[in-house]
Amino acid sequence: MQGRFHDGRTTRVQTVEVELVQEVLTFRTEDGYERWPLAGVRAEPIDDRVRIAPPEPLLARLTLDRAEWLAATQHAWGHQRAERRRHLGLVAGLAAAAAIAAGAVFVGIPAASGPLAQATPPELERKIGDNLDGQLSLAFPACGGKPGQAALADFGRRLGTVSHTPLEVRVRAVHAPMVNAWAMPGGSIMVTDRLIRLAATPDELSAVIAHEAAHVQKRHVMQAVWRSFGFGVLLDAVVGGGTGAGQQAVLLMGSATSLRFNRQAEAQADSTGQDLLVDLGLSSQGMAPFFRRLAAKSEGHDAAAVKELLSDHPDVLRRAQTTAARARPGAAAFTPAEWTAIRAACSDGYDPLKRLRKMF
């Protein structure tokens, strides 16, 4: 194509031969070669001519025959439109795939977590629990009082017997900077030293432990792990499969402060835990007063101490009313000697700073 070139700096008008090569306008001027990418130029029709301007801030102009310009650029513009359509299609496809994946992770897996938990082989759950137990034991070491630990372990075995769960219910006291108790995959239950101090009677402590044993029996713990597993899958997809980031996220989300149960699961664990105590001939009257005292402490100077347990067990006053109505009298879960030993189990002079110094 023959055109007229204005350099934008002088009044000279140069006649140039213009070629369109691989979507780039190229032509030779008196000052050298010009290369203008077609994607960056601006074309302005003027009668039977077209005035072409390069990308800013250059002031140069190139005037071409309009018919020749259209003929030369028709294929190039069509190719660009096809490329844009292909890119838009790719973006739309990726967005749809992401939506499907997010739906599976955040909707599908949580919705299926109940059936998945029930279908999980107990041996697999035990392996997951052993892994998690090892992780948490580093942060929350077992208390050193052997008689108290033995009493708790025996109570766990009794709960496991009447619950008819294929998992072994194992209870132990641990040092931790919070008031809480939690069950883990595989049947292990940790009770913190601060919760033991908070429990006023054997009935209250046994009610808390029975509640956690009910979570084990109903496979609520594995259900929560499946929900966390969905997050792990998404994280692995984001940071790259094989990094193990998703697996670590599952472990972290399965920690004492992250395996959350919904209100329905908590209510079921309340009633089932009371039933387990009754089946053992024990009192189920400790749950309601424990909940009431938690509610009272949440408004007093001990609020920070019970914050973690309250976050895991919401609506304590309503649940206190419900469990009080279902409560039945019975024997104490622990003898006076066992209760004394349990209360003293964590009085072993544990120093978390000293432990850290040994580790590092």
pLDDT single digits (tens) 86-141: 666 666 666 665 554 445 444 555 556 667 777 788 898 888 888 888 888 888 99
- Window from 42-56, 78-92, 173-187, 327-341 with minimum mean pLDDT: 78-92
End-to-end CA distance of the chain: 77
Of the pLDDT bands very low, low, confident and very high (cuts 50, 70, 90), residue 248 is very low
Domains, the chain, with CATH or none: 2-72 (2.30.29), 120-359 (no CATH)
- Cα-based torsion angle of the residue sequence 309, 310, 315, 320 in order, rounded to the nearest 10 degrees: 60
Alpha helices in 15-143 (DSSP H): 66-103, 109-119, 122-139
- Window from 5-9, 21-25, 354-358 with minimum mean pLDDT: 354-358
Instruction: Give me the chain's average pLDDT, please.
Output: 80
> What pLDDT does 104 receive?
47
Of the pLDDT bands very low, low, confident and very high (cuts 50, 70, 90), residue 57 is low
> What pLDDT does 259 receive?
52
- Max avg pLDDT among 32-41, 239-248, 290-299: 32-41
Q: 136 vs 269, which has greater pLDDT? A: 269
